[in-house]
């Protein structure tokens, strides 16, 4: 979810669900060691609970970055061992780390030793065309011994050569049963499953066997799905916000961001373009919020313009 789940996206998603755990886009250790820490770690207090997802393979650097994450107030530190992109591989982290379980274990231990918040790992079920269950079982076993108690498992292999990141989300087959086997073999560990989920019936089916479900692109493209989660999965009062009220609150947020950080509303609005999916006038609504020629208008004025054709069509 690089360049997708930034703090603006997470603020938007938090308006839809109070309880779901939100994850940052992957932040590399190099960006924090050598770059602008505030730019990468700043987030809105409303986002809690929120996990910082790190990319790296040097234990000392990851420990340093985990400390930074805890100091900035993140609720969890997550190590990405699932991203298959060639750019990430060149940095010797992401999915290729699954070939080095002891290195991952050393990195996890270095982080566990310096923070009090949970340290978790997100990974695949295998690398390339190696489809042995023993491969992922041994990886989890080694990393858990270093102190990781929670694993988020994308139930596809990661093909390190020959597939783009997009193809890596579609071509390798989903094998949910391997994640279920992990839970059976490691009953004291926590396992969340990721990959291909689009509706709550599928999520419920897996939650009967596992501890959590992670939703990525479906939550981004069809965000209204999140609005029922607090009631359905957490047995809490349902959200009373309408889509229009969520949109209006995002406009308030855009005004605040512009005043405090000089952020253009167009950098924020892109994350909510799926809010009206399936509704009459949604296409025109997206076009208005995507029109950079309108960037001199105030956000609330853009919202009013975006709803004009919807009202006329009704």
Residues assigned a catalytic role: 83
Beta strands 190-194 and 212-214, pairing class: parallel
Start-to-end Cα distance in the chain: 36
Burial profile 127-164: b = 16 or more Cβ within 10 angstroms, e = fewer: bbeeeeeebbbebbbbbbebebebbbbbbbbbbbeebe
Q: Which residues contact 280 (CB under 8 A, 6 or more apart)?
A: 310, 313, 314
**Location of structure tokens 């009206």:** 276
Question: To 5 degrees, how large is the angle CA 237–CA 197–CA 73?
Answer: 60
Helices (H), the chain: 7-16, 29-34, 37-41, 59-71, 86-90, 101-112, 133-145, 165-168, 176-185, 200-207, 217-221, 229-234, 243-261, 265-269, 282-289, 299-313
| Integer CA distances (angstroms), 216 to 8, 225, 263, in order | 16, 12, 25
Can you state the angle between helices 243-261 and 299-313, rounded to 10 degrees? 160
For residue 13, which phi and psi values (nearest 5 degrees)? -65, -30
Rg of the Cα atoms in the chain: 20
Structure tokens at 130: 């190696």
**Location of structure tokens 């489809």:** 131
């Amino acid at each position: 979810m690089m360049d997708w789940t930034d703090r603006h996206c997470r603020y938007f998603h938090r308006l839809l669900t109070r309880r779901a755990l939100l994850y940052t886009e992957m932040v590399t250790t190099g960006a924090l060691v050598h770059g602008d820490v505030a730019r990468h770690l700043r987030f809105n207090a409303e986002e809690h609970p929120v996990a910082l997802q790190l990319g790296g393979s040097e234990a000392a650097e990851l420990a340093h970055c985990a400390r930074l994450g805890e100091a900035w107030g993140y609720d969890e530190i997550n190590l990405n061992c699932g991203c298959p992109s060639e750019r990430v591989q060149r940095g010797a982290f992401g999915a290729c780390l699954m070939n080095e379980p002891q290195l991952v274990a050393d990195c996890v231990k270095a982080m566990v030793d310096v923070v009090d918040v949970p340290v978790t790992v997100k990974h695949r079920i295998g690398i390339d065309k190696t489809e042995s269950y023993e491969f992922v079982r041994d990886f989890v076993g080694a990393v858990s011994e270093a102190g990781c108690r929670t694993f988020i498992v994308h139930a596809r292999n990661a093909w390190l050569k020959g597939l783009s990141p997009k193809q890596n989300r579609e071509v390798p087959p989903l094998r949910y049963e391997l994640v279920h086997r992990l839970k059976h073999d490691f009953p004291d560990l926590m396992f969340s499953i990721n990959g291909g989920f689009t509706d709550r019936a599928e999520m419920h089916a897996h939650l009967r066997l596992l501890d959590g479900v992670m939703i990525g692109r479906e939550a981004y493209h069809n965000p209204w799905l999140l609005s029922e989660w607090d009631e359905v999965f957490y047995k809490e009062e349902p959200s009373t916000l309408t889509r229009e009220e969520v949109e209006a609150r995002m406009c308030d947020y855009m005004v605040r961001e512009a005043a405090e950080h000089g952020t253009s509303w167009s950098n924020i609005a892109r994350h909510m373009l799926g809010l009206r999916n399936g509704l009459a006038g949604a296409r025109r609504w997206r076009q208005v919020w995507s029109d950079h020629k309108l960037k001199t208008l105030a956000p609330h004025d853009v919202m009013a313009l975006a709803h004009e054709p919807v009202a006329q069509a009704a």
